[in-house]
Amino acid sequence: MKPNIYVIGVDYGSDSVRSVLVNAENGEEISSSVFNYPRWQKGLFCDPAINQFRQHPLDYTEGLEHTIKDCLIKAGGKIAADAVKAIAVDTTGSTPVAVNEAGVPLALTPGFEENPHAMFVLWKDHTAVKEAAQINEHALKYEINYLDYEGGIYSSEWFWAKLLRTLRTDEKVRNACYSWVEHCDWIPFLLTGGSDIKEMKRSRCAAGHKALWAEEFNGLPPNEFFTELDPLLDGYTSRLFKETYTSDEPAGFLNKEWADKLGLRTSVVVGVGAFDAHMGAVGGQIEPYHLSKVMGTSTCDILVAPSADMEGKLIKGICGQVNGSVIPGMMGLEAGQSAFGDTYAWFKNILGWPLKNLLHQSAVIDEATADALLEEMLDKIIPELSRQAALLPKNDDDELGIDWFNGRRTPDANQELKGALSNLDLGTDAPRLFRALAEATCFGAKNIVDRFISEGIPVKGIIGIGGVAKKSPYIMQMMADVLNMPIRIHQFEHTCALGAAMFAAVVGGIYPTVEEAMKRMGSGFDSEYFPDEKNVAYYASRYPHYKSLGNYIEQSPNHE
């Protein structure tokens, strides 16, 4: 192939969007850019007390324009506009939004600009717990189990539960809502100038893992399934989709408006979108039966298996199995933990409370010094806790935690569950609590691996990607010890964005398959953690206690 052909991968995370400009010949990063969502940073439209987390579409569009233009600026004029051949996008999910018939999110239309129910419902929004429970109960009434390919349990984090809750909650949104769209489908639609929702190419990844779409059902469940659940859902299947598309297919070309905004050509191909972890698994060079763990605020765990191997197999308690959701021709299996980095961030916020609330009241230092000291101390909390926790002796009666601080995603989704800490005494200090929290998140990871294995899916290796994987050797070593498996850490900093760039290289016609793009553009691994035998035995002795404590919490009538 000709050298100096470039592609752009865009990765929308929970807190920010990042874009990378990549040389498609070898996967070299030319430049990258990160944009923190300004409205999200201010906590607008969110209410953590009721698990409401909404994001305004302007955060997404502003970030899209900023990061791509910034990447081109950082390239220093070395990249001609016509050398960029394709763009592909991944997002968090399920993160859907109410749209009108033209496919415009209602928050971008008059009268809805400040309405949280007209905005994107972020993946970790759990306001639809009641609706998810009703879907699970309702599905039992049918001879066909429409939850079979979703792991058998529907989650409040997902597409239909969020739609039903939105329709029930806000009459104005209900009357204006024509259809319901995933974030990963809307961005390509926007970039290609889509103006008719019926023309939107819907991601198989999103539809299969979150929206009850399955090849075996020839699409979505019938309209009757939804109207018998609640008449408010009548007609939505006809305004959604029957066909879905894998992300090696183009959504269209960059329209003139966005081409002019970004300084690119209308010949740029835009790929069908997907979820971040699924494209991240490709960026991290996933292999069959190796578990790719994207470790950030939550974890999303992806495993691929040859479709022939999965014939007749239904894996219980995971987040779905979908043919082609990761690599076309392979079955994509998804699992994950609803809180991972968020667990450490919660503890950091508790420890940082005096700094945030009292430092500026100090009569000893001025405001500028207080600001600088606050930033310095907050940055040091997790690294220092990790260092001190690693020095602690290991005893059978050490503090023990349960990692369900944002509910449990896998195995067996239950977003009503809560986290816990036990075995506390007057000798318990911050490093010991941090160790218990880190151990709990690693035990949660083991619970997922154990479920795959018990369901007949071997796990031959672990691939770590994402912020925690890159930044926390303490937690990665603990995870290797808990899983008793080596963990390879992918060296690319923005691995999900790299995966999106690999898909862009395929939709742009540079490579014929995703596998070839991975081979040519993959950057390999820069570190590997191996289990320490003495630690393996320690964690193996504690894991049954984690399971027992979890069972107690789950069975307690007060666990909610």
Kindly state whether residues 71 and 169 are assigned to the same domain: yes
Kindly state whether residues 471 and 374 are assigned to the same domain: yes
Kindly write down the DSSP assignment for every residue of 387-407, as one continuous string: HHHHTS---TT--EEE--BTB
321 touches 149 (CB < 8 A): yes
Number of structural domains (the chain) is 2
173 touches 128 (CB < 8 A): no
Residue 307 lies in a domain: no
Residue 300 lies in a domain: no
Residue 390 lies in a domain: yes
CA distance 314 to 309: 12
pLDDT of residue 558: 63
pLDDT of residue 560: 46
Kindly state whether residues 139 and 231 are assigned to the same domain: yes
Residue 301 lies in a domain: no
pLDDT of residue 82: 83
Q: Where are the alpha helices (DSSP H) in 298-429?
A: 341-358, 367-390
Kindly state whether residues 93 and 106 are assigned to the same domain: yes
The 10 Å Cβ neighbour count of residue 257 is: 12
Place of tokens 């994987």: 469
Q: From 474, 480, 491, 488, select the one nearest 445 (Cα to Cα).
A: 480
pLDDT of residue 335: 97
pLDDT of residue 523: 87
CA distance 292 to 294: 6
pLDDT of residue 58: 98
Kindly state whether residues 94 and 152 are assigned to the same domain: yes
CA distance 165 to 156: 10
CA distance 367 to 511: 56
279 touches 247 (CB < 8 A): yes
What b-and-e string marks burial along 225-238, b requiring 16 or more CB atoms within 10 Å of the CB?
A: bbeebeeebeebbe
Residue 468 lies in a domain: yes
Kindly state whether residues 246 and 357 are assigned to the same domain: no
Containing 99, the helix (H) or strand (E) segment is strand 96-99
The 10 Å Cβ neighbour count of residue 3 is: 8
CATH of the domain at 75: 3.30.420.40
Kindly state whether residues 240 and 374 are assigned to the same domain: no
CA distance 24 to 363: 57
The single-letter code of the amino acid at 491 is Q
Those residues whose C-beta lies under 8 Å from the C-beta of residue 127, and which sit 6 or more positions away, are 50, 51, 52, 121, 156, 162, 165
CA distance 466 to 463: 10
Those residues whose C-beta lies under 8 Å from the C-beta of residue 327, and which sit 6 or more positions away, are 282, 286, 304, 514, 515
The 10 Å Cβ neighbour count of residue 41 is: 11
Those residues whose C-beta lies under 8 Å from the C-beta of residue 34, and which sit 6 or more positions away, are 16, 17, 18, 67
Range of the domain at 180: 6-284+493-525
What b-and-e string marks burial along 78-113, b requiring 16 or more CB atoms within 10 Å of the CB?
A: ebeeebbbbbbbbbbbbbbbbbbeebbbbbbeeebe
Kindly state whether residues 414 and 501 are assigned to the same domain: no
Q: From 106, 123, 94, select the one nearest 170 (Cα to Cα).
A: 106
pLDDT of residue 1: 42
Place of tokens 């990549």: 22
Angle, CA of 70, 181 and 167, to the nearest 5° = 130
Residue 167 lies in a domain: yes
Task: Name beta bridge partners: 400.
Answer: 422
Residue 309 lies in a domain: no
Kindly state whether residues 180 and 218 are assigned to the same domain: yes
Query: How would you write the pLDDT of the chain (560 residues) with one tens digit per residue?
Result: 455 799 999 999 999 999 999 999 999 999 999 999 999 999 999 999 999 999 999 999 999 999 999 999 999 876 777 899 999 999 999 999 999 999 999 999 999 999 999 999 999 999 999 999 999 999 999 999 999 999 999 999 999 999 999 999 999 999 999 999 999 999 999 999 999 999 999 999 999 999 999 999 999 999 999 999 999 999 999 999 999 999 999 999 999 999 999 999 999 999 999 999 999 999 999 999 999 999 988 999 999 999 999 999 999 999 999 999 999 999 999 999 999 999 999 999 999 999 999 999 999 999 999 999 999 999 999 999 999 999 999 999 999 999 999 999 999 999 999 999 999 999 999 999 999 999 999 999 999 999 999 999 999 999 999 889 999 999 999 999 999 999 999 999 899 999 999 999 999 999 999 999 999 999 899 999 999 999 999 999 999 999 999 999 999 876 54
Kindly state whether residues 348 and 211 are assigned to the same domain: no
pLDDT of residue 467: 87
pLDDT of residue 559: 52
Kindly state whether residues 355 and 479 are assigned to the same domain: yes
Tokens of 195: 């103006």
Residue 313 lies in a domain: no
Beta strand 461-465 pairing with 290-295? parallel
Kindly state whether residues 391 and 419 are assigned to the same domain: yes
